Structure formats: structure tokens, C-alpha cells
Chains A and B, each alone.
Chain A
Amino acid sequence: MLRNRGRLRMGLIRRIVDTRTVACPLAAALLSLSGGAEALDSSTIDWQLHGFASQGFTYTTSNQVFGASRGGSLDFTEIGVNGSVRLLPNLLFSAQGLFRNAGGSDREDFRLDFAQVDYNGTFLDSALTLGLRAGRVKIPFGLYNDTRDVVWTRPSVILPQSVYYDTLGLRQAMISADGGLLYSRYNWGDHRFNLEFMVAEPQDDTGDATGFLTGRLDASGRMEGRPLFLGRAVYEWMGGRARAMFSVVDLDRDFNSGAPGLESGKIQALYPLFSLQYNAERWSLTAEYGWVNTRRSGFGDVPVETTSEGFYVQGEYRLSEDWSAVLRYDVFHADRDDRSGRSLARRNNQPRHRFYARDLAVGLRWEFVSNWMVAAEYHNVDGTAWLSPHDNSDLLKGGGDPHWDLFSLMVSFRF
């Protein structure tokens, strides 16, 4: 075995030099930074380092998304670096740091995205896996949530906003949470069943989650109460050729006011989501439907209960190995019993378009060099329900344009 060491070293050096990203020496250096398997004895620790950097440009005809987009905004940046270390075949440590800027809707800059330990065991001749993940853990919700900040794993630059809020404050509480997650996988021929159950402290004191949950913008105070519960059941056929999923989040939090004149209260939210996907060689069809039932009590008011709903249907087409296109129709209703927004508008003394959003989007992406992509898309939107009040102060004064267009462009590199 030892006599191979020299030749292997040469192979490794050649691999670094051959790397197609010599345009970016740093990237080439980073690309070579995964090790372990080069080593020659089985006791070696395997580790990997990966990351991504994405820069977006957003232009809107009216209203604002990710900064002052009416004049064109560059306030959409996503940069992440992560490392994973496998100490034993079934023991993995991993962490990711994330920098994100998304205009008024995300002003946190750097954050610890996840830092977790994952341990599992296999049973029944490897057909069954049982595992535990603990630490700051990504929230497994629907098809895209757990890696939603990486454009490579999204179908489009801007995710369907009816399900994956990016401009609304709740986003911060949906990304990752501090706690534990039990998971199980069972394989039976071409079929795979996956169950996850999570108990974790949501990050609802960060970003504008508190404001979103209490319905009072810039509410100052603390969120407490029991941790969130989350469950997800996944069925996959043929490595994900077909996929069906049910996810549900159950949130029950107490808001303790930190400001005079602002009452404390309780927020209970239940968010179920159904997901379906079919992947053929050239095309993929995806749909997700969910609703958020929110009950607010206390706040010196009578309890208020509403149920919003979100739904989208999406087609993707792979034109070649490097080009793909996406077409999607995405609908959000703030109250599914009042889809026109008429009675909500009357009750809240706001225009109707604040309570729905219908978004028709078409996009194109091109991987122009290995691990580099550019994605462009156009959205025609009717309604302003998912716009950030931080980027659109006129919305709070009854303004905002119900009919608007959005153009988005993103360049991304991954290693």
C-alpha cells in the first residue's frame, strides 16, 4: 500500500492543477480541500469543505423587493461556507456560516446557519436507518426549505412566495432552529420512506419574526414558550423520480412585551404543507399546497383566528445539460375564506391587494462554466400580500401598486 503514496500525491496535485476553475485560484485551492479518501488507511477521518456565493439584481416596475428595486437593486447577496467531518461512518459533524443581505427584509448580515452533530444506526440488513441530529439544525419543511438560501437547490431565483416567505419576517423563524431531530429511513426495493420529527427553539427573536407573529411591526419584546414541533413524512420512488411529502409545523409562543402600551399575548400557528414532484429526464412537475392557521390571543384584544393559504404549480424543462427553464403560477391568500380580500380590507381599512398575491413567473438558467451559473426570471404579479413593509413603507399608509412586474438576475458560484 505504501508504495502508492507518491503516485497518489502526484495525482492529487494534478487534480488541483487540472481544476477547471483556474480562472479563480482561490476556488481551485478550496476545491482541493476535501480530504480523507486520499489517505491510505481506513482509520482516516473524511472531511469536506463547500460553499457558494450568489449575487442578485432585482428590478421592479413598482413596489420594492430586496431593497430599492424600482431603480434596480443589488441588495440580494447570499454567501455560505460549510464544513463536514465524518469521524465514524455514522457520526457526522457539520456547520455553515451564512452571509445574507436581502434589503429591508433581512438586515442580519452574518449568522450561524447550522452547527450540528448527526448520528445514526442501520438495521434490518441496512434497509432501516434510525438517526438523531442535534444542535442548530436546518428545518426540513417541504421540498426546498432546508437549503433555500442556495440558488443551486432552488428552482428559481425567487422561491414561490406563497409557501417560502422571503420578504416577510416569519422567514427567520423557518430557516433553522436549536434543538434535536429524530429521523428514520426505510428502503423497500424502489421505494423509500422517510420520517422526521423535530423539537426545537425557533429563532423567532431574530429578524422581524416577532413583528410578523404578533402582527405588530417592530414589536419590541421577547418570544418565549414551548419549542416548535415539526414532522415530515416523505415517500420517494426511484431515487426521487416521484416524490410525495407532508410537512407540518406546530408553533405555540408567548410574546412578552418590552414596551409600555404594547400588550403581551399568545400566538399559536399550525402550518401543514403537502408536496408532490415528478422528475422525468427532460422535465419536472412540482406542486405544493399549504395553509397557516394562526390564533392570536391576549394583546388586550379579543382572540383573532385566520387561515391563510399558499399554492403553486411549477414546470421545469431541461433544454440541455447547461440550460433549463422554469414556468410557475403561485397564489397566496391571507384568508382562504376571503380570497378576494374584500372583508379583510374592510376590517383592516386597507386596500384589497394587501391580502392576496398571484405570481406568474418564467425563468431561465445557464451553467456557463462548471459550478458557475446565471439565472434570470420575470414575474408578473397581481397583489402585494407578501411584500416586506420594511422595503415598502407606503404599504402601511394604504399605498402600493396591485399590478407590478419583477425582473431578477442572479450569478452564482459554488465549490
Chain B
Amino acid sequence: MAGEPGPRVFSADGRADSLSADTLREIFFMRLTSWPDGTPIRVFVLPDKHPLHVRFSKEILGVYPFQLRAAWDRLVFSGTGLIPHVVETIGEMRERVRVTPGGIGYVEK
């Protein structure tokens, strides 16, 4: 792991930069659905097995990817929430978050 750039939260206007780990957990578990100004939060993630997703889950959120997936499955199949949009590359993540109002994701440091 050493030497590889680690993950950092990424939002277009930097509004996610100061969020605590538990607030980020609520956002990525799709339980917190709007920003303080009322804009919907729109969450982007990389595929479950992507190394950056794995590191983000563990190092920033303090959870394992399977926990996120299990929680998203429960939301979807009980109709109690939406789940994140999956993007395939870090480049796409950067672009989609940048142009989506209320967008949040993660990139390399």
C-alpha cells in the first residue's frame, strides 16, 4: 500500500472536505440524503472490487466494502432508499462529480 496515493473525498465545491467520518458514513450508506442547503446528495462510487473503493471504504469510512453492498442491497430490495451511481474509472468519477449538483465521490490524493 505504501507509496500509492490514498483516497480522499471529492465534491465539486469542496463542501465535503470538512465532514466527519460518521457523517461521511451516513452519506455513503445513503441515509443522509440532502446537504444543509437542501440540495440532494448524489453519491458516486467505483465498482466494489476497485482498489480505490476498497481503500476508501476501509480508510475513510472505517467499514468493509461488503458492508456497504449489503446495506445498499437492503435499501434497494426493501424500497427504502436509492443507491450510489457506479462509475468505472477515477477520471469518470472526477468528471461526473464535478458536473452533478450535490455530487460527492472520492479520488486519489
Q: Could you tell me which A residues sit within 8 Å of B by CB distance? A: 1, 4, 7-8, 11, 15, 18, 34, 36-37, 40-42, 46, 48, 50, 52, 80, 82, 84, 86, 88-90, 92, 94-96, 114, 116, 118, 122, 126, 129, 133, 138, 140, 146-147, 149-150, 152-153, 185, 187, 189-190, 238-241, 279, 281, 318, 321, 370
Contacts and interface: CB of A to CB of B under 8 A. Distances in A.
B85 A187 contact: no
Interface string B63-78: 1101110110110111
Contact of B77 (A42, A46, A153, A279): A153
15 contacts: A7-B95, A8-B96, A11-B92, A15-B87, A36-B42, A37-B85, A80-B77, A82-B77, A153-B70, A153-B77, A189-B22, A240-B63, A279-B64, A318-B66, A321-B48
B74 A40 contact: no
B23 A126 contact: yes
Given A114-B78, A118-B80, A150-B77, 13 more contacts: A40-B101, A82-B79, A89-B38, A90-B33, A92-B82, A94-B79, A95-B79, A126-B32, A147-B77, A190-B22, A239-B63, A239-B71, A240-B67
B42 A126 contact: no
A221 B88 CA distance: 55
B54 to A, nearest CB: 9
Contacts of A46: 40, 42, 82
A15 B82 CA distance: 19
A1 B64 contact: no
Contact of B79 (A89, A129, A138): A138
A146 B79 CA distance: 10
Chain A binding surface SS class: mixed
A185 B31 contact: yes
Nearest to B83: A48
B64 A281 contact: yes
Contacts of A18: 88
Nearest to A150: B77
Contacts of B71: 239-240
A239 B81 contact: no
Nearest to A7: B95
Interface centre among B40, B61, B70 (most CB of A within 10 A): B40
B1 interface: no
A189 B44 CA distance: 23
A42 B29 contact: no
Contact of A82 (B44, B47, B61, B76): B76
Contacts of B8: none
Nearest to A279: B67
B100 A37 contact: yes
Contacts of B85: 34, 37
A227 B82 CA distance: 29
Given A34-B85, A90-B34, A146 B74 contact: yes
Interface centre among B39, B49, B76 (most CB of A within 10 A): B76
Contacts of A150: 73, 77
Contacts of A138: 78-80
Contact of B67 (A88, A146, A189, A241): A241
B62 A129 contact: no
Contact of B103 (A37, A52, A281): A37
Given A42-B102, A80-B77, A133-B80, A241 B26 contact: no
Contact of B99 (A8, A126, A152): A8
A41 B40 CA distance: 11
Interface string B50-63: 00000000000111
Interface centre among A50, A90, A318 (most CB of B within 10 A): A50
B87 to A, nearest CB: 8
A238 B40 contact: no
B21 to A, nearest CB: 8
Contacts of B44: 37
A129 B31 contact: yes
Contacts of A152: 73, 77
A80 to B, nearest CB: 7
Contact of B82 (A80, A86, A153): A86
A364 B79 CA distance: 28
A133 B75 CA distance: 13
Contacts of B22: 187, 189-190
B20 to A, nearest CB: 9
Contact of A89 (B41, B48, B78): B41
Interface centre among B42, B73, B74, B79 (most CB of A within 10 A): B79
